[in-house]
Amino acid sequence: MMAFLKLLARNRLALAGLIVIWIVVFLALITPLLPLADPDVTDTPNRFKAPFSEGAVLGTDHLGRDLLSRLMWGTRLSLAMGVAAAIIAATLGSAIGIIAGYFGGRTDNIIMRGVDMLMAFPYILLALAIVAALGPGLMNALFAVAAVNVPFFARNIRGITVGVAHKEFVDAVRLAGMRDSEIILREVLPNVLPVIVIGMSTTVGWMILETAGLSFLGLGSQPPQADLGSMLGEARSALITNPHTSIVPGAMILIIVMGINLLGDGVRDALDPRLKSGALSRPMPATEVDRRETTRAQTDSLLDIAGLQTEFRVRNRVYKAVGGVDLHVEKGECLGIIGESGSGKSVTALSVMGLVASPPGVITGGAVHFDGDDIIGAKYEVLRSLRGRRVAYIFQDPLATLHPLYKIGDQLIEAIQTHETISKSAARSRAIDLLKSVRIPNAENRIDSYPHEMSGGMRQRVGIAMALANDPDVIIADEPTTALDVTVQAQILSVLNDLRRERGLAILFITHDFGVVGQLCDRVAVMYAGKIVEEGPTDAVLRNPQHPYTSRLIDCVPTLGGGQRKLAAIPGLPPVVDRLPDGCAFADRCDKVQMECRSGAIDLAATAPARKTRCLFPENTQEASA
Amino acid sequence: MTGYILKRLVSAIPVLLGISVIVFLIMAMIPGDPATAILGSYATPENVEKLNRDLGLDQGLVPRYFIWLGNMMQGDFGRSFALNRPVIDEVLDRFGATLILAGTSFVLCSILGIAAGVVSAARQYGFADKAITFVVLLGISIPSFFLGMMMILLFAVRLKWFPVSGMWPIYGDRNFWVLLDHLAMPAIALSVVATGVIARLARSAMLEVLRQDFIRTARAKGVRESRVIWRHALRAAMVSIIPILGIQAGFVLSGAVYIEMVFQWPGVGRMLVDAILKRDILLVQGGVVFIAACYVMFNIMVDVAQALLDPRIKT
């Protein structure tokens, strides 16, 4: 509760709303004690006195009544009506909702049908019908507004009750023989009460507005008694000649409703945990770059990543997801990046084209040279013209990564037309060819399917076809086979392998599966806690892993027919990347750890031709050099 | 799709019946003798007795309902005693004016609300976002009837841009431009609150969508950012915006009652309020049932639009 209040206090607008409401409510409460003129005494000779005139601070109305006094009494009445309507609606609605939700079955069905019927009305029609039947008047308007809002509470509270009524503790007391009415009062009600209170606080502003509205129409409070709505309604005929009589009550309604809205927004933000984590912020078109220095390319490869650093800034914590990665891929080569979830392999891949979600992602160092130019920090238009045209991506879950509401054909055609001026029909026939090239049977018909109409394997083929649309030089595949079963996975890999050979594609293949690496990749880089810990030709690394982490990772892979071997899970978890230890990040999980491992940065050192390892005590060095 | 529309139409039948039952029950709450309430206290005993017979008031609640329902099915909504003409004629006459006002407002608030929400989301925490958020807060806090009155003061009385009230001038031509001149202020005043609500919900729907993987895919393809926002993201966000539009249509229709009073617009809202004040019960009853039925039909159109937009909905 205190945390909630603190959060609320941090939101300055909500605080302002709260203060405004406190002041208005306080003034309304002490109105009878204030030295105000009688609000109902008419004084026609002094009608329509302007504001700030003597004896009437806010002037007088069309019958010469003191506006300030009427405003205060009217506010008091409006607030009381709004609160009363909210309480009545909440009580009735919650009772209905609890009964429907608790008993369920037929009772629930009948009640909720009725509630749905009530919700089928534009709310004011219902209120007007009730007032028409009961006759205009303060209490009838109050009842009408409350009745109209009953369905809202009934529906919400029913939902919560259904959840509570099937919890274990309710079952337990029921088995203990407690009666239904007792269970509802002692077990269910305390659990739904907070929701009722929140519902009331969010609707009270609305109720004030609605009761004022009915009074404005002349259907609520009757003269001489006046709430803010009927004050405004009476002043309407003198709107043009004496606008102050309208502005005074209207401005008060505005102030009250605005205060309640400000507070309500603050409460909502404080209660919505998604806003706290910052998860509701949208990613910008390209990842933010905040580099202190640039790094020169280390090779003249097609794609050269040098000293890349990417971090996530969430509130005041910094997660160094990628902590200085060097990689390069040649034309026609396939480089695998392997590592556990959270090792930074995907972030590395997404950083290349600035696709790391930002906020919270920021590229803070290093460089990515593509075809000789550094593309980190390049202008957005430069980046955009490279994306898809020369560097294309294949993502993991094709159900989430394809647009669910566009036909796959239209998505392929868009990929083509984004980078090339070409007629729609020509693009369409190209799209069909692309689908054929990834071995989608019946491509002419399949092109008009929606993603949800295809199987996982077929969808991933579409993802690959889309990546190939503009004949790119590099394909970055971010776990493209992870969501697929093994036979489909093999097919996809063979499609990729063939394309690589036919088109001379460079592939950066991110995975956590050594089997996949072995099938497809020429070289492999092993990542741990945001750094490359070992790199080398695939066969050599798989046969003679040098970093203890690599060998432990390989030991985790079950092999067919290897039933006798004990699977060795790695004890412990990878370190959290906002608190990386000094020295080797794997030290805590390594069984060969020495004192030296825990101090100072460890370099990625060459241990054999074309092999590098970030370890002070590498394994298997003899065999590798032999 | 035709099958889906038929299915939705059939499913509307119980809702319409339910609406008629609710209205009937509310009217059954009238204290005292309904015939006297309907005819007023100066009615002759013969007239009261005749009305009692016509409405079946001498019978029980259930037969009375079926008499009323049967009459309505034949287009007989009863007779307005204050206007001395059939209820349905009066309602239909007035409904056109409301449709013009509420329809224009609905189109306005849909377009403006969605556009503001999209811009706000795309520029999250930027100047445009903050400005829109502030204007929206103001818009949803100001009672439409007060806003309407202030607009009359400023734009009609002070600046003389628009006529003060009414739908047509008392003298002179009745053409489209004259109507537009009269329509501008009430339509804007009526759309402000709904625009604000739609803008807020469109903003959060867009923020939700912009975080999705398929947006990253579109960007990875090199699609222009404007297209990413207005095509990819908005199309997906519309799935959650369309139902909001359906709900807001009900609020626009409700708000029309106030706006018609403020601007002397000759629509059903004003007719209902006048009828209530004159205790013209049958006119209220008929008007409420008629508009509620129209609203149910409108919501079916919203559902159909939703099904057209989202291929994942089983039609």
Dump the DSSP string for chain B. -HHHHHHHHHHHHHHHHHHHHHHHHHHTT--S-HHHHHH-TT--HHHHHHHHHHTTTTS-HHHHHHHHHHHHHTT---EETTTTEEHHHHHHHHHHHHHHHHHHHHHHHHHHHHHHHHHHHHTTTSHHHHHHHHHHHHHHHS-HHHHHHHHIIIIIIIS--S-SS-SS-SSS---HHHHHHHHHHHHHHHHHHHHHHHHHHHHHHHHHHHTSHHHHHHHHTT--HHHIIIIIIHHHHHHHHHHHHHHHHHHHHHHHHHHHHHTT--SHHHHHHHHHHTT-HHHHHHHHHHHHHHHHHHHHHHHHHHHHH-TTS--
**pLDDT value, residue A625:** 45
Nearest chain B residue to A137 by CA distance is: B277
User: Which residues from B are below 8 Å from A402, CB to CB?
Assistant: 214, 217
pLDDT of residue A624: 44
Among A257-271, B7-21, B276-290, the least confident range: A257-271
* A258 contacts B137? CB cut-off 8 A: yes
Partner residue facing B284 (CB), from A117, A132, A466: A132
Residues in A touching B157 (Cβ below 8 Å): 240
Q: How confident is the model at residue A621, as a pLDDT?
A: 72
What are the φ and ψ backbone dihedral angles of B114, each rounded to 5 degrees?
-65, -45
| Percentage with pLDDT > 90 across chain B | 43
- DSSP run (H or E) holding A526: strand A523-528
The rounded distance, in Å, linking the Cα atoms of A329 and A302 is 6
CB B313 within 8 A of CB B51: no
Q: Does B215 touch chain A (CB under 8 A)?
A: yes
Confidence of residue B262 (pLDDT cuts 50, 70, 90): very high
Residue ranges in chain A whose pLDDT is less than 70: 1-10, 272-280, 559-568, 622-626
Residue B36 above 80 pLDDT? no
Alpha helices, H only, A236-379:
244-271, 273-277, 345-352
Instruction: For an interface test with A, give the residue of B144, B206, B217 to mutate (most A CBs within 10 A).
Output: B217
Q: How do the domains of chain A map onto residue ranges?
A: 70-276, 324-541, 542-626
Kindly state whether A153 is in contact with chain B, defined as any CB-CB distance less than 8 angstroms. Answer: no
The ipTM value here is 0.88
| Residues of chain A neighbouring B29 (CB-CB closer than 8 A) | 130, 133-134
Q: Are B38 and B81 in contact (CB under 8 A)?
A: yes
Write down the mean pLDDT value for chain B: 88
DSSP class of A599: S
Q: What does CATH list as the number for A324-541?
A: 3.40.50.300
Residues of A in contact with B272 (CB under 8 A): 125, 128, 132
**A161 and chain B: CB distance < 8 Å anywhere?**
no
CATH assignment of B88-314, among 1.20.1260.10, 3.40.190.10, 1.10.3720.10, 2.60.40.4070: 1.10.3720.10
Q: Tell me the residues of chain B between 142 and 181 that have a Cβ less than 8 Å away from chain A.
A: 142-143, 145-146, 149-150, 152-153, 157, 164
- The size of the A-B interface in CB pairs under 8 A is 230
Maximum alpha-carbon separation in chain A: 115
Question: Do B18 and A114 lie within an 8 Å CB cutoff?
Answer: yes
**Amino acid A153: pLDDT:** 92
Joined tokens for residue A410: 């239209």
Residues linked to residue A310 through DSSP beta bridges, in sequence order: A322, A363
Nearest CB to B257: which of A124, A135, A386?
A124
Candidates A130, A262, A401; nearest CB to B26 = A130
A70-276: CATH topology = MetI-like fold (1.10.3720)
pLDDT greater than 70 at residue B271: yes
- pLDDT recorded at residue B219: 94
Prior bond to A360 cis, omega within 30? yes
**Under an 8 A CB cutoff, do B157 and A240 touch?**
yes
The pLDDT of residue B251 is above 80: yes
Parse chain B into domains and list their residue ranges.
88-314
Based on its alpha-carbon atoms, the radius of gyration of chain B, rounded to whole angstroms, reads 24
The predicted pLDDT at position B231 comes to: 93
| Interatomic CA distance for residues A373 and A352, integer angstroms | 12
- Chain A residue closest in CA terms to B155: A240
B285 contacts in A (CB within 8 Å)? 129, 132
Of B29, B164, B223, which has the smallest distance from its Cβ to A133's Cβ?
B29
- Chain A, residues 257-296, CB within 8 A of chain B, namely 257-258, 261-262, 265, 279-283, 285
Instruction: Write the single-letter amino acid at B137.
Output: L
Task: Using only the alpha carbons of chain A, give its radius of gyration.
Answer: 35
For residues A366-397, one letter each, b for 16 or more C-beta atoms within 10 angstroms of the residue's C-beta and e for the rest, the string is bbbbbeeebbbbbeeeebbebbbbbbbbbbbb
Q: Does B134 touch chain A (CB under 8 A)?
A: no
Q: Is B186 or B58 the better-scoring residue by pLDDT?
A: B186
Per-residue pLDDT, averaged over B67-87, amounts to: 86
Examine the pLDDT at B43 and tell me if it is beyond 90: no
Lowest mean per-residue pLDDT among A243-247, A620-624, B245-249, B300-304: A620-624
What size, in residues, is chain A? 626
Phi, psi of B249 (to 5 degrees): -60, -40
Of B19, B211, B285, the CB nearest to A282: B211
